[in-house]
Amino acid sequence: MDDSIHLSISRLNLLIGGLKILNEVSIDVPKGSLFSIIGPNGAGKTSLLNCISGIYHSTSGDIIFNGYNLTKLQSHEIAKIGIARTFQHAELFRRMTVLDNILVGRHIKMKRGLISNGIFWGKTIEEEVLNREKAEKIIDFLELQRFRKNIVSELPYGIQKIIGLGRALATEPQILLLDEPSAGMTRREKEDLAKFILRIKHEIGITMIWVEHDMQLVGDLSDYIVVLNFGTKIVEGLPKDVLRDQRVIEAYLGTKMAI
């Protein structure tokens, strides 16, 4: 695989209950890019992220990342080799604090065993201090300092979505899967989200695969766009070309329009 390609999807098919969700989807995601996947409801966007992250197992095809074929791995194994994701809904531990939720993301980095954790001494204490430092850096990065001790359920939904992003970053991923992170946010919250996404790209250098419905955000931030419709890839390319493509307009509006 070309070194500039971080993740390669080849002829991916997903069949669930006799229904074809993904049909021969092939995508190459460049390293360090903000790569968007768009399409109307039911196009297969989240299902594609579920295949990459191991929540779904494809019927056929390959997903290659760092020499691994992700179709052969379980979700926890995929997380350990460097792929993290957020969800359409925050999916947080609602009765835990912001800090504790982000610390959950550090779990896969912890090396101490059950017995040493129970005794809590020596290397276990060092590991705890290190992971708390990492979590605090993420809190600072996402400007969540004033919420760090708040119970998650008490916070606005937009803040909860940012916390979910923080928990994913806590795993130190090479690739971050973003599943409609702006859903349910106000315009101001979306502006903050856009700022953090750009900081992740430019300051940390993480490759991002982003499913999104807000076309203004997609057009402003994306490096590349792929469009799915009924599980099939219909267009891919640069935002300025894809968002003006007649096939994309038809897929979203269901009719031909003059551009």
Q: Is the pLDDT of residue 2 over 80?
A: no
Q: Which tops the pLDDT comparison, 199 or 109?
A: 199
Please give the pLDDT value at position 259: 38
Q: What is the C-alpha radius of gyration for the chain, rounded to an integer number of angstroms?
A: 19
Q: Which residues contact 14 (CB under 8 A, 6 or more apart)?
A: 20, 21, 22, 44, 47, 51, 56, 58, 59, 231
- Tokens at 150, concatenated: 């708040």
pLDDT digits (tens, 9 = 90+) for 208-240: 999 999 999 999 999 999 999 999 999 999 999
Please give the pLDDT value at position 90: 77
Return mean pLDDT, the chain: 91
pLDDT digits (tens, 9 = 90+) for 11-49: 999 999 989 999 999 999 999 999 999 999 999 999 999
pLDDT digits (tens, 9 = 90+) for 98-149: 999 999 998 887 765 544 555 554 567 788 888 999 999 999 999 999 999 9
Lowest mean pLDDT among 112-121, 143-152, 164-173, 195-204: 112-121
Please give the pLDDT value at position 230: 94
pLDDT digits (tens, 9 = 90+) for 40-96: 999 999 999 999 999 999 999 999 999 999 999 999 999 999 999 999 887 899 999
The whole-model pTM stands at: 0.89
Length of the chain: 259
Please give the pLDDT value at position 251: 85
Contact yes or no for 78/70 (Cβ under 8 A): yes
- Tokens at 189, concatenated: 């919250």
The domains found in the chain, sorted by start residue, are 1-82+175-184+206-259 (3.40.50.300), 92-172 (no CATH)
**Strand ranges across the sheet with 19-30:** 19-30, 5-16, 60-65, 68-69
CA distance 118 to 24: 49
pLDDT band, residue 169 (cuts 50/70/90)? very high
* Residues above pLDDT 90, as percent of the chain: 80
Please give the pLDDT value at position 113: 52
Please give the pLDDT value at position 122: 54
Q: Is the pLDDT of residue 204 over 60?
A: yes
